[in-house]
């Protein structure tokens, strides 16, 4: 079985969630993690995972892309703290949180929000689902400063082999998504080929991050096998070994002992 460790099934592109899940399960994608993007999205995610408790899991947090200048860090963290205190057992992580060097959002605000989410994740002993664009060195610095030990996933990785090893050394898994389906993404493909298999998990980021051949279309969890096949082309291990290890990695990083 395959685990989509990052997809946004709460987005409006997915009108029929039952159909979306069934279409994915038809191609052996059986588990899904839904990271939040804004506080407004928390209740929708919690409602979805309550409706599909054997397939869906969630994460609560603030995505850096959606931060506004009106946000008050202290108030936002109070709300997240309350939500994490009363979370269901299906809420497995803090996120999607992180830093983005390519959006017009005050970087000091991004840094303060991410640092506080790292603090809460450490307090509740939850992994992080981390968004990072052009900010890997900042992410590493903040995690080290916080002495963060609960692990997590660096989502949508598109960096170099050196950056990937630094993130893995911090206890993070590397989210392998649609970028590896593009032959031109040589730097990322080389990094994914070189990393220990134990450090990788699969994700679609649906409806974003389209795989090759589906550009311009909303991405879908049922395209996770395409990413898996691209990964097999980069790895020397047997397909069954890769599949089994990816599944176990997903359980391990989300602190799921068995399923």
Feature table: binding site for a divalent metal cation: 6, 8, 96, 131, 155, 205
- Contact between 152 and 179 under an 8 Å Cβ cutoff? The reply is no
Tell me the torsion sign for CA atoms 28, 183, 186, 137: negative
- Reduced to 3 states (helix: H, G, I; strand: E, B; else coil), residue 156 is coil
43 — phi, psi (to 5°)? -65, -35
Q: Cβ contacts of residue 119 below 8 Å, gap of 6+? A: 146
- Contact between 34 and 57 under an 8 Å Cβ cutoff? The reply is yes
- Contact between 136 and 163 under an 8 Å Cβ cutoff? The reply is yes
Alpha helices in the chain (DSSP H): 17-25, 40-51, 73-85, 107-124, 136-146, 161-169, 186-194, 224-234, 239-253
Annotated binding site: 6, 8, 96, 131, 155, 205
- Taking the alpha carbons at both ends of the chain, their separation in whole angstroms is 11
Alpha-carbon span 193 to 189, nearest angstrom: 6
- Contact between 126 and 93 under an 8 Å Cβ cutoff? The reply is yes
């Amino acid at each position: 079985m395959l685990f989509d460790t990052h997809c946004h099934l709460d987005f409006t592109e997915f009108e029929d969630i039952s159909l979306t899940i069934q279409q994915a399960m038809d191609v052996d994608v059986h588990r899904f993690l839904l990271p939040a993007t804004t506080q407004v999205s928390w209740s929708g995610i919690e409602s979805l995972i309550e409706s599909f408790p054997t397939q869906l899991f969630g994460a609560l947090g603030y995505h850096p892309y959606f931060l506004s200048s009106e946000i008050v860090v202290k108030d936002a963290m109070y709300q997240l703290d309350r939500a994490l205190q009363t979370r269901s057992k299906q809420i497995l992580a803090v996120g999607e949180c992180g830093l983005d060097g390519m959006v017009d959002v005050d970087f000091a605000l991004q840094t303060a929000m991410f640092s506080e989410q790292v603090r809460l994740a450490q307090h509740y002993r939850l992994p992080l689902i981390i968004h990072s664009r052009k900010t890997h060195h900042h992410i590493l610095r903040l995690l080290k400063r916080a002495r963060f030990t609960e692990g997590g996933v660096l989502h949508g990785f598109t960096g170099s082999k050196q950056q990937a090893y630094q993130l893995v050394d911090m206890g993070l898994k590397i989210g392998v998504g649609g970028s590896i389906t593009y032959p031109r993404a040589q730097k990322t493909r080389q990094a994914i080929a070189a990393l220990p298999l134990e450090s990788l998990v699969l994700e679609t980021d649906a409806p974003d991050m389209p795989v090759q051949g589906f550009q311009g279309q909303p991405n879908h969890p049922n395209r996770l096998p395409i990413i898996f096949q691209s990964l097999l082309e980069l790895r020397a291990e047997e397909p069954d070994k890769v599949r089994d290890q990816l599944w176990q990695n997903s359980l391990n990083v989300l602190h799921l002992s068995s399923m």
